[in-house]
Chains A and B, each alone.
Chain A
């Protein structure tokens, strides 16, 4: 069964960066693309982008272009999502989600990482 493990929480100050890890297990790491979706408190769901663990290619939502970087480490089966220049509006739960190639939906959600941006 596909398993992705994220840290539970991060606290950052405005202007800082956060780098969230997403460690894959129980499947071949390069099988699934990894997408990132976030949800601010009391708000809806927002797709941020995705990475292909096989070659490392990325696609980002325009809203986050220039501020988000998704990378992967095949030696540890881990994907990372770094968001820079944090502001209070970035306070949200960030989910990493496995999916097949192409536009798709998400049927395997973990607990996510709560990122709190506060001075």
Chain B
């Protein structure tokens, strides 16, 4: 199974600040990496697919990048609506696997 190691598990940031979340795959997954945002009591929502493609309707302050087996989600200017938990997921092979999540909290 491909293990997805996400870091940090939580991060505190101020409105307007920049946040970077990392996800490392235990083996190569090409660009088959998706980022989700989840708010309390709600289902996850796709932000980024194929490592760097912005899902329709998602604000451009969200961006994704990759370097080998390391993937990064960046929120360039944190907004109040962005405080949530973020998950990565590899879509390269079965079983599909998720990172452990990163909770973005208000500083």
How far is A84 from B55 in the complex, measured between Cα atoms in Å? Answer: 37
Query: How many A-B contacts if CB must be within 8 Å?
Result: 48
Return chain B residues, CB-CB under 8 Å to A112. 43
In the complex, how many residues of chain A place their beta carbon closer than 8 angstroms to a beta carbon of chain B? 18
Query: Are A105 and B98 closer than 8 Å at their CB atoms?
Result: no
Query: Are B49 and A105 closer than 8 Å at their CB atoms?
Result: yes
Taking a contact as CB atoms closer than 8 A, the residue among B43, B49, B92 that contacts A111 in the complex is: B43
Return chain A residues, CB-CB under 8 Å to B96. 35, 47, 103-104
Taking a contact as CB atoms closer than 8 A, the residue among B45, B94, B98 that contacts A44 in the complex is: B98
Q: Which of B's residues lie within 8 Å of A, judged by CB?
A: 1, 32, 34, 36, 43-46, 49, 55, 87, 89-101
Q: Taking A103-B90, A105-B49, A106-B44 as given, write out 15 further A-B residue pairs in contact, using a Cβ cutoff of 8 Å, ordered by the A residue number.
A: A35-B96, A44-B100, A45-B87, A45-B98, A45-B101, A47-B95, A47-B97, A61-B95, A62-B95, A103-B92, A103-B94, A103-B96, A105-B46, A105-B91, A107-B46
